[in-house]
Amino acid sequence: MPVAIITGASKGLGRALARALAARGWDLVLGARTEAVLKEAAVAAAAYGTRVETRAGDVADAAHRAALVAAAQGLGGCDLLVNNASALGAEPLVRLAELPLDGLRRALEVNVVAPLGLVREALPLLRAARAGTVITVSSDAAAEAYGTWGGYGASKAALDHLAAVLGVEEPGLRVWAVDPGDMATDLYAAAVPDDRDPRPDPDEVAPAFLRLLDERPASGRYAAPALLEGRR
């Protein structure tokens, strides 16, 4: 069975992707900081009959990243790495004039440095896989200038660029940066707690990622809403 590593897998999109991949027979390595919630996500995925390993920890920690990759190797390799874990930099989000520099550093560490570190750790397994794939979860804030989203958006823009260069440097892999669009997640609620407008559940967005895996388009940046509408 193919093996996927998913970070930020205890809630939201990461958890939805874990269930969607498990339903297709993928074996999984799931990472997140909160062990109890991560175990719940693992139980839900394992209900599909696949093997599911969990490693609780902070993706900014190099030892945690190594543990994720070692667990994947124990399952037979790594076919897919999903860099989903994210940090906002400030909760709720604030204007740049008020953004704590330590918050920006944390966003860059989690959203940029850690994904690259995990890619580097997993590259030997990804290169050896039949169809090695890296997905970095981006944001429309990486491409649009929304007030209060500056620090987070800057980190996601940097992540997009890393993914684009990785796609050039690793032509044997597929590397997709995916903007999932608006979703009803704890991350969004923490970012803008006063925004009560309805948003899609992550389970409704996961099929866009499955479409990429089915069709395997060229490495690049894709938007989930367009994929769900049948466009790229």
What are the catalytic residues?
138, 152, 156
> Helices marked H in the chain — which ranges?
12-23, 35-46, 62-75, 101-108, 114-128, 150-169, 186-191, 202-215, 224-228
Name 192's Cβ contacts closer than 8 Å, sequence gap at least 6.
92, 93, 148
CB 174 within 8 A of CB 134: yes
Give buried/exposed letters for 166-183 (b at 16+ CB in 10 A, else e): bbeebeebbbbbbbbbbb
Residue 83 main-chain phi, psi, to 5 deg = -85, 90
